[in-house]
Amino acid sequence: MKKILISPGEAAAFIIILMGAKAFLGYPRLVTEWGFTAGWLVVLLSGLLSIIFWLLIIGVFSRFPGKPLTEITELTMGSFLGLGINIIIFLYVIFVTSTILRLFSEASTLSVLTETPVNIIALLFLLAAWLAAYYGIEAIFRCAYFSFPLLSIGVILVLVLLYPYFDLRMLLPLTGAGIGPVLMSSVWGTSAFGEAVSLAYLARYFSFKPQILKNVGVFSISYIMLFFLAIVIVYQMVLPYPTSSETLVPFYQLSRSIFLGYYFQRVEAAFVIFWTFTAFLRISAGLLVAAIILQDTFKLPYYRPLLPALSLLIFTIAFTTDDLMQAVNLATEIDMVYGWIIIFIIPLLISLVALILRKGDRKANDS
């Protein structure tokens, strides 16, 4: 089999895009809902908490160098319990990818293709994702690495072009919904950075050591935290609360607000190219990660034959909800409010068990 080796830069770009995709969906609105004018504070605190979670998880990871989290789970929890946990993780990834597919398809219908049926748009996303996953992990990581600077420039451009509407007063009061709700929602908000744990599931493809993997995770979470902060702050400065808590596609709304004279207005369609490109990458990455987790869980030699079935599964789950509002609510409930339990708490428990039972290679840990 061809050896695939991913560099730290490619891994970081992949994870940043994986996490950052939600900035184009309802994330800025959600944190505004949670923290009111202190939505940015929710982002900051949840980002810092996610870094702590990541450091705890990666601590045990170094005891199993080169092994993916699915294997570590089985080694630590036993084959039966390990299998069960891995299946839960797999189902969660499938669910999140389905909600992302639905929300991006709905966002496209709302913004640029108002007369196209949403399932046709979802099919387009899924076909591209299938092709990308078929090309393989190397292609998706490199695609993310290549497009990362361009996507970053696109986002920065939208934020900068909105400068005539910046109003710092919109961020007051600084504590927003109050200390208690802000702290509480900061814990839920860690779900937004949960994709960083995907690195642990793809460990066998990396050309670098666990120590560098730790740095990649910390860098990715920090980078995207700053991006989320910038987007949420601009969003809250441009669209005052409570209007900012009612927009379904906040980033599109932001790009639509750009007006720099007669010849530079209504350019939201031009920026659609950035967030839809991210959507393609995000859905592909979700499909790929789900396929790799399933492959590792059941010790399958290849994951490519799984792709048609997984694509169909994602498509079906995406359209189980009747309308957009139901999809948004479900995504908020499962993905954001409870997602952190599956993403961070389960790996932390596994780490704890590994430490208690002294599982793993102590020499590797010591070195």
Site for another protein, rule CB under 8 A: 7, 9-10, 108, 112-113, 116, 121, 124-125, 128, 131-132, 135-136, 138-140, 142-143, 145-147, 262-263, 266-267, 269-270, 272-273, 276-277, 280-281
Task: Please give the C-alpha separations between residue 358 and each of 78, 214, 353, in angstroms, as whole numbers.
Answer: 14, 21, 8
First to last CA, the chain: 30
- Least distance from another protein to the Cβ atom of residue 108, Å: 5
The four Cα atoms 97, 103, 105, 110 give a dihedral, to 10 degrees, of -170
What residues contact residue 254 under an 8 Å CB cut-off, 6+ apart? 158, 159, 162, 231, 234, 235, 238, 239
The helix (H) or strand (E) run that includes residue 208 is: none
Q: Residue type for 211, please?
A: Q
* DSSP code at position 112: T
Q: Are 218 and 51 within 8 A, CB to CB?
A: yes
- Rounded-to-10 torsion of CA 173, 253, 186, 346: 180
- Pick the closer one to another protein by CB: 50 or 108: 108
Give the helix/strand (H/E) hosting 6: none
The dihedral of CA 33, 93, 212, 75: what is its sign?
Answer: positive
- The dihedral region occupied by 232, where left means phi > 0, alpha psi between -120 and 50, and beta the remainder, is alpha
For tokens 């994986």, what's the residue? 18
The residue (of 123 and 364) whose beta carbon lies closer to another protein is 123
Closer residue to another protein (CB): 10 or 296: 10
Which helix H or strand E contains 267, and what residues bound it? none
User: What residues pair up with 265 in beta bridges, in sequence order?
Assistant: 259
Q: How far is the CB of 352 from another protein (least distance, A)?
A: 37
- Shortest Cβ 219–another protein spacing (Å): 15
Shortest distance, CB of residue 5 to another protein, whole angstroms? Answer: 9
Nearer to another protein, 147 or 191 (CB): 147
Six token digits for residue 116: 């196209």
* Closest distance of CB 112 from another protein, Å: 6
CA torsion through residues 319, 322, 323, 327, sign = negative
Q: Whole-number minimum distance, CB 137 to another protein, in Å?
A: 11
Indicate the residue among 141 and 344 with the shorter CB distance to another protein: 141
Q: Which is nearer to another protein, 55 or 127 (CB)?
A: 127
Q: CB of 288: closest distance to another protein in angstroms? A: 12
- Residue among 139 and 355 whose Cβ is closer to another protein: 139
CB of 128 to another protein, least distance (A): 5
Q: Residue 108 or 253: which CB sits closer to another protein?
A: 108
Measured between alpha carbons, how far is 151 from 147 in angstroms, rounded to an integer? 6
Neighbours of 267 (CB within 10 A): 17
Minimum CB–partner distance for residue 115 and another protein (Å): 9
Residue placing its CB nearer to another protein in the complex, 208 or 359:
208
Single-letter amino acid, residue 44: L
